[in-house]
Amino acid sequence: MTTAISVKNLGKRYQIGAAETKFRYNMLRDVLVDTVYAPVRLVKALVGKSDRRANKNFIWALKDISFDLEEGKVLGIVGRNGAGKSTLLKVLSRVTEPTKGIVTVRGRVGSLLEVGTGFHPELTGRENIYMNGAILGMKSAEIERKFDEMVEFSEVGQFIDTPVKRYSSGMYLRLAFAVAAHLEPEILVVDEVLAVGDAEFQRKCLGKMNDVAQQGRTVLFVSHNMSAILRLTQEAIVLNKGQLIKRAPTPEAVDFYLSSGQAETGERTWSADEIPASSEPFKPISLRLKDKNGNIVDTVRSTEPATIEWEYQLDAPLTGLRLGMYLNTMRGEYVFTTFDTDDAKQYEQFGTRKAGRYVSRCAIPADFFNEGRYYFGVNASSFGVKRYFMDENALSFNVDISGAPGTQWPELRQGPIRPRLYWQIEKLG
Amino acid sequence: MTEPTKYEPTTIYINPSTGIAALNLRDLWTYRELVLFMVWRDVKVKYKQTLLGMAWAVIQPVMTMLIFTFLFGKVAKLPTDGIPYPVFSFTGLLPWGLFVVALNQGSRSLVAHNNMVTKIYFPRLILPMSSVFAGLVDFAIAFVILAGLMIYYKVTPAWNVIWTLPLFLLLAIVTALGVALWLSAINVQYRDVNQALPFLTQFWLFATPVAYSSSVISDKWQILYSLNPMAGVVNGFRWSLLGSGNGPDTALWVSAAISILLLISGLFYFRSMEKTFADTI
């Protein structure tokens, strides 16, 4: 099998910080001021007080990346925001040049880094198809050949001769994607284009990308949508802070990405000045979200159970204390409220809590949440008597539904709950 | 179901470039259709949703010519080598119009298309090039007006206009392109170009013999004056169309040499800065 893409020790450095923002447009005035201050800087350097701007002003967006990709394979690229995924695609698309290393590419590269680049609002849909196709590298003969297919795919039909500025955002996206999707390069590079558009659009995009993959082209696919990655790719690489930290068959790589020490969040600790004096004798310590293995995470898989634990301290015995948690969606809608003494047995046993350190753990069942982002609010109170402590936005987390029932269709389902319900299908006669 | 076109894959090496970047004209040839598309798009968009449409390509030079005729022809009575002032100034305004397009649209072309520059690969040369070529369309329209003016004033060109005019048109394009390449590349990093442009355009207009004849410049300043590449272009146009002026003399050769130098150096500068465009734009 021939290698389509070979990346060796790839590095890309960007200039950031003071140098970037202050001198971004490099006004002559700034250059002059800079020149005037040069002797000052020289003196400072001699005295040993130089501000070492060399280190502060550069960031390596990509650090020593090496991998090979065979022809016909579909590779997923995952990583947190800022990991370097888009930069890698830009280098592969020759939009930007590497600082170090070498990339060998065999075949034409078609890039879908953004949908609708080159569209001009004054031109009609028809004219924009030709324009966009030409920009993406298609010859006009090729565009003509595929014109009807593209129009059909975009479902824009009768509006094809109206200026694009009159289109709805959905039509615009569909048309833009239609053109880009009919690129037929040997290597296709796609960057999170599924992040925009409604559910219908996403479904279409995924379908088309699947077709492209089936046709035997080499595809590189960057996405935050783990379901899409799992569906379309065979192998995936995980990038973190510019480095390639894992390459594995997709399920393994996705698992690694979701659970690998992304534990900077997933825990909320309250410092002394965040706790009002009125909360005495109750003192919250920390709130943690843990996955099934006990790791502190900020993303849980809906197919696995999770635990929320709240650690706190009582400086004096308290009667009637109850610790509550409110779950909200990111849009602020309430999902549920739960208290640690909701259960009658707990209520009896912990009617009075003696002084000391405690933890209240809540077990979140598997197959409960729908995908999305949620946040917990917490509250420690004594019903009808006093509210000791409250934090309305204590901890946020993400739910990933890869592998959940129904994810064989890449569609967005509404609602915060996605329970696993049992269906029985029976043929009657 | 479309068949993937049979294509023998070529291998491309992507690595940090060192030294002077090659001109890479082959890549440009592959993208030749894009140049045409962009010119077509620029022209179409310019006059969309306008009442007067293409008439605007005529109105500007005609209005300028009328103002010049009044101010410099009638009031100041500047010498025009015996040619009626309207024809004289309009002949100068023709290549000048092309140059203005290069100055204004050309120098802004990269920054104006920054979303394309940062997301898609294509030879960036196409952007200033298509701005200048779009100017040629306006040139063609204005040329028709000039022909009308010449007929009206009964000014006839010599026979050699058949080959001298295209030659000077080529020189005009070379000059416009050279300036557009330099300015567009510089503008990416130093946006001062945007600020300087209105002033630069005005200054350059007066430094070029559009409203007046370059014969008013005293001999000792002629060589310095001819360092302005547009001086050669305008004088060349006047000589080939109207027969005025000295024809190809030292001044003209100096101007032409400067134009060619501008283009070649512009190409190299542009190509060497090209790799930084996506990062600094």
Would you place residue A3 in the very low, low, confident or very high pLDDT band (cuts 50, 70, 90)? confident
Helices and strands (H and E) in chain B: how many? 12, 1
Question: What is d(CA B280, CA A24) in angstroms, rounded to the nearest whole number?
Answer: 8
How near does any CA of chain A get to the CA of B108, in Å? Answer: 14
Mean pLDDT, range B207-220, rounded to an integer: 85
- Residue of A312, A327, A321, A354 whose CA lies nearest to A340: A321
> Who wins on pLDDT, A422 or A270?
A422
* Closest residue to A100, CB basis, from B16, B192, B279: B16
B7: in domain: no
- Residue among B5, B48, B275 minimizing CB distance to A122: B48
Number of inter-chain CB pairs under 8 A, A vs B: 121
Mutate to test the interface with B, among A3, A112, A117, A214 (most CBs of B within 10 A): A117
> For residue range B166-184, what is the model confidence (pLDDT) as tens digits?
999 999 999 999 999 999 9
For residue B249, the Cα-to-chain-centroid distance in whole angstroms is 23
pLDDT at A392: 76
- Structural domain count of chain B: 1
Domain that holds residue B90: 27-280
- Options 3.90.226.10, 2.40.10.120, 1.25.40.10, 2.70.50.60; CATH for A267-400 is 2.70.50.60
Give residue-wise pLDDT tens across range B16-67: 877 666 777 777 888 888 899 899 888 888 887 788 877 888 888 889 888 8
CATH class of A60-259: alpha beta
Residue ranges of B 100-119 with Cβ closer than 8 A to chain A:
115-119
Omega within 30 of 0 (cis) for the link into A281: yes
| Continuous segment of H or E residues that includes residue A14 | strand A3-15
Cβ contact A120–B116 (<8 Å): no
Within a domain: B173: yes
Residue B48 lies in a domain: yes
The answer as to whether B37 is a domain residue is yes
Interface of A with B in 65-104 (CB under 8 A): 90-104
Local confidence band at A18 (pLDDT 50, 70, 90 cut-offs): very low
pLDDT for position A332: 67
User: ∠ CA B78-B82-B86 to the nearest 5 degrees?
Assistant: 65
Residue B189 near chain A (CB below 8 Å):
yes
Residues of B in contact with A94 (CB under 8 A): 12, 14, 121
pLDDT at A265 > cutoff 90: no
Distance (Å) from the C-alpha of residue A230 to the closest C-alpha of chain B? 26
Question: Would an 8 Å CB–CB cutoff place B32 in contact with chain A?
Answer: no
Is residue B212 in a domain?
yes
**Three-state SS for A228?**
helix
In this complex, do A135 and B11 lie within 8 Å of one another by their Cβ atoms?
Answer: no
What's residue B171's pLDDT? Answer: 94
Interface check for A245 against chain B (CB to CB < 8 A): the answer is no
Compute how many other C-beta atoms are within 10 angstroms of the C-beta atom of residue A315: 11
Confidence of residue B245 (pLDDT cuts 50, 70, 90): confident
Percent pLDDT > 90 in chain B is 35
Contact (CB<8Å) B120/A91: no
**How far is the alpha carbon of A123 from chain B, nearest alpha carbon, in Å?**
7
Each residue of A181-240: pLDDT tens digit?
888 888 888 887 666 667 777 777 778 888 887 888 899 999 877 777 887 888 999 998
Tell me the chain B residues in contact with residue A132 when contact means C-beta distances shorter than 8 Å.
none
- For chain A, say whether B5 makes contact (Cβ under 8 Å): yes
Query: Tokens 């002003």, residue?
Result: A57
Give me the residue spans of the domains in chain A: 17-56, 60-259, 267-400
Query: Which chain A residues are closer than 8 Å to B114 by Cβ?
Result: none
Hey, is the C-beta of B218 within 8 angstroms of any chain A C-beta?
A: no
Q: How many CB atoms lie within 10 A of CB A37?
A: 11
Whether residue B13 and residue A96 make contact (CB cut-off 8 A), yes or no, is: no
Which among B34, B272, B273, B274 is the top mutation candidate for probing chain A, defined by the most A β-carbons within 10 Å of its own β-carbon? B34
Q: What is the pLDDT of residues B73-86, one digit of tens each?
A: 888 888 777 788 88
Average pLDDT, chain A: 83
Minimal C-alpha gap between A245 and chain B (Å) = 22
B188 against A332, higher pLDDT: B188
Q: How buried is A61 (Cβ within 10 angstroms: 0-12 exposed, 13-18 middle, 19+ buried)?
A: buried
Residues 209-238 of A with CB under 8 A from B: 215, 217
Between chains, do B16 and A97 touch, taking CB under 8 Å as contact? Answer: yes
Does any domain span residue B220?
yes
Token pair for residue A36? 């005037």
Residues of A in contact with B192 (CB under 8 A): 25-28
Q: Which residues of B touch A98 (CB under 8 A)?
A: 14-16
